[in-house]
Amino acid sequence: MKLLEERIRKDGLVKEGNVLKVDSFLNHQMDVALFSEMGQEFKRLFKDHKINKILTIEASGIGIACVVAQSFNVPVVFAKKAQSINLDGEVYTSKVESFTKKRVYDILVSKKYLGPEDHVLIIDDFLANGCAVLGLLDLINDAGATVEGVGIAIEKGFQQGGRLIRERGIHLESLAIVESMDASTGEITFREQ
Ligand code: 5GP
């Protein structure tokens, strides 16, 4: 999606440790008009799927997921992050290792909001090593729901997440795929799609 690539080139900051900062339009301040364009694009890319729920993970996926959900006219469920979980049988849980914070945490979704009747589109802001998406896929699997696809705003194509998800035969669409980025020059290149 050219609009997103241009915005990343203009406002994205490349940090040490393969981190791309996009706080001015996506991760802190949010450009809702841009999100709306992204929502329309996901709607077009997943038009052949019957989707009745969007699933994301707190916190940074929630804003995008809400706008995407509007274009599909379906509800959003976000997986909550927890330090420790009281396993009372009311939730589905999985573990995720944070790429940016380098620690493992539990994620959970109430059984009330995810079940066998659901056809789910996962939405997240970034795809790096794939831990967040794989954790969400675990929850969908445990719930007996169906994954219809994964929609990502920015995939870092030089990390393994995209490959791991595509290898599973899951329909993955990333609106911008960063092929390389250089913290010393700030240069960012994108994969042609
Ligand atoms: P993964 O689980 O695929 O390794 O990482 C995905 C999660 O880590 C995303 O939900 C996102 O919040 C965060 N993340 C990974 N890489 C980056 C990055 O380069 N920049 C920012 N802002 N967040 C990232």
Q: Is 106 in the pocket of ligand 1 (CB under 6 A)?
A: no
Q: How far apart are CA 66 and CA 81, in angstroms?
A: 18
Domain count, the chain: 1
Write down the pLDDT at residue 85: 65
59 prior amide bond cis, ω within 30: yes
Report the separation in Å between the CA atom of 117 and the middle of ligand 1, taken as the mean of its atom positions: 29
Q: Which domain holds residue 181?
A: 2-190
Burial of 48 (0-12, 13-18, 19+ CB in 10 A): exposed
> Tokens in use for 188?
């960012």
**Could you tell me what percent of the chain has a pLDDT over 70?**
97
Residue 63 predicted with pLDDT over 80: yes
**Per-residue pLDDT tens for 111-127?**
999 999 999 999 999 99
Write down the pLDDT at residue 102: 80
CATH, residue 26: 3.40.50.2020
Q: Is 38 in the pocket of ligand 1 (CB under 6 A)?
A: no
At residue 76 the predicted structure's pLDDT band, cuts being 50, 70 and 90, is very high
